[in-house]
Amino acid sequence: MKLGVNIDHIATLRNTRGTPYPDPLKAAEIAINAGADFITVHLREDRRHIRDEDVFNLKKNTNTELNLEIAAKEEMLEIAKKVKSYSINIVPEKREELTTEGGLDIINMHSKLSSIIEEMHSFGIKVSLFINPNINQLKYLEKSEIKPDIVEIHTGDYCNNPLEKKLKLITNTAEYINKLGIECHAGHGITYKYAQRMKKIPHISTLNIGHSLISEAIFDGLYSVVKTMKMIISN
Ligand code: PXP
């Protein structure tokens, strides 16, 4: 199973003070050194965390595949083509939401999605669609002309309220995606505990994780930085 590390929150922290630090590029380098297989960033329309220059900077200065999460909007697709990310992950985006709250409605967006996929493929960019665990969406996908490379399952609902039936639905959705010959990824709300459960689902090949990793990183590092600061001011 591969790991995509989402570093949006590094940019969130940077932007709260307008300082150049913490630098998302530095976070990406650490994640890559630790074994991250992908770096994932969400370039939101309101640019609340990752900004255009971060995306170009990451692409230019890291040698790991860049997965760019974007809304299906012309402005974002133009940026994806310019930066030539490894993949784009199309997500529904609402300005007022705290994070990506749900999956795409493939049925309503079918003509838009199939033309985006065709265009991105002509630029050598893989396309991932972010959906809720839902077999109906996949049955539609099966019969349609939409041919994504990847489908990512939104695991947020399960991680917020981990009922066994929700895990079963994620498992069945992953199986169906695999049956369609599409790569299956999963993401949202995944912590160490839920990663253990996702690992057992045979058809999920990649997890995209951000919030819990950056949160754990604070507590992994806080002891050491307080020690360093004490040393500086004591000498
Ligand atoms: N996958 C997608 C499509 C997302 O939008 C996000 C959040 O930006 C994630 C994965 C990662 O979710 P989390 O930050 O909860 O780990």
Give dist(CA 225, CA 117) in Å, integer.
45
Q: Which of 49, 69, 152, 154 is catalytic?
A: 69
pLDDT digits (tens, 9 = 90+) for 42-81: 999 999 999 999 999 999 999 999 999 999 999 999 999 9
pTM for the whole thing? 0.95
212 burial type by CB count under 10 A (0-12 exposed, 13-18 middle, 19+ buried): middle
Please identify which residue in the block is written with the tokens 């370039």. Answer: 43
pLDDT digits (tens, 9 = 90+) for 17-46: 999 999 999 999 999 999 999 999 999 999
CB distance 178 to 201 below 8 Å = no
CA-nearest residue for atom 9, ligand 1, is 188
Which residue blocks in 18-109 are alpha helix, DSSP H?
A: 24-33, 52-61, 74-83
- Which residues sit with their C-beta closer than 6 Å to ligand 1? 6, 8, 42, 69, 89, 91, 99-100, 130, 152, 187-190, 208-212
